[in-house]
């Protein structure tokens, strides 16, 4: 089972619509540095 968009938003410090946009490949407005920070935050987050 994956993480909900709401949970991912909390981990990433963004709102849920931004998580939805990322999931749907809408990357405009996100720098490559920010995207890598998101990846690192999600990798370091334990899932139950």
Q: How confident is the model at residue 48 (pLDDT cuts 50, 70, 90)?
A: low
Non-local CB neighbours of 30 within 8 Å, separated by 6+ positions = 22, 38
| 3 domain residue, yes or no | yes
| 35 domain residue, yes or no | no
pLDDT on residue 1:
57
| 9 domain residue, yes or no | yes
Number of folded domains in the chain? 1
Q: 9-45: b or e for each residue (b if 16 or more CB lie within 10 Å)?
A: beebebeeebbebbeeeeeeeeeeeeeeebeeeeeee
State the residue range of the domain holding 5.
1-30
Q: Is pLDDT of 43 > 80?
A: yes
For the entire predicted model, the pTM comes to: 0.80
> Could you report the per-residue pLDDT of 4-39, keeping only the tens digit for each?
999 999 999 999 999 999 999 999 999 999 999 999
pLDDT on residue 2:
83
Distance CA 30, CA 48 (A): 28
| 23 domain residue, yes or no | yes
The angle subtended at Cα 43 by Cα 39 and Cα 20, nearest 5°, is 50
| 44 domain residue, yes or no | no
């Amino acid at each position: 089972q994956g993480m909900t968009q709401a949970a991912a938003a909390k981990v990433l410090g963004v709102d849920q619509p931004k998580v939805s946009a990322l999931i749907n490949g809408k990357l405009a407005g996100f720098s490559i540095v920010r995207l890598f920070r998101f990846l690192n935050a999600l990798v370091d987050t334990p899932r139950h």
